[in-house]
Amino acid sequence: MAPGGGSGLPGAAGGTTSLLEEWLQKFATDGAQAPVGADPSAKTREIKEKLKEELKSTWENLKSRLEGQEAWEIRGLCFDNKEWTEKANSNSGQYVRDLCTALAEIKYFISGVWMTRKKAPGTGDNVEIEKGMDDAKIYSRCIVGAVALSTIYGDHCKLDDVIRTTEKEVDQKLEAHRSTGAQLNKCKGIDRNALLLGKSILQDEMKNWSQAERQKGMESKGSQGSWKLGKLWYNRVQGVCPQIYKGDGTKVQEQRKGNAEHMRKFLKVGDDRSITSGQATVADVLGDDNMKLSADKLTEVLSKLVGSDGKVDITNMDKLMEQLNKETETTTGKYYIINILHHECISVLM
- What pLDDT does 236 receive? 78
Residue 102 lies in a domain: yes
- What pLDDT does 84 receive? 80
Residue 4 lies in a domain: no
Residue 56, exposed/middle/buried by CB under 10 A (0-12, 13-18, 19+)? middle
Between the alpha carbon of residue 79 and those of residues 96, 97, 348, the distances in Å are 9, 6, 46
- What pLDDT does 123 receive? 78
Residue 202 lies in a domain: yes
- What pLDDT does 199 receive? 97
Domain encompassing residue 272: 9-349
Q: Phi and psi at residue 17, in whole multiples of 5°? A: -100, 140
Residue 317 lies in a domain: yes
Rounded average pLDDT per 10-residue block, the chain, 350 residues? 44 55 87 66 92 97 95 92 76 89 97 90 86 90 98 95 94 94 92 94 97 92 88 82 82 93 95 66 92 94 90 89 87 51 41
pTM of the predicted model, to two decimals? 0.88
Residue 318 lies in a domain: yes
Residue 3 lies in a domain: no
- Number of domains observed in the structure of the chain: 1
- What pLDDT does 154 receive? 96
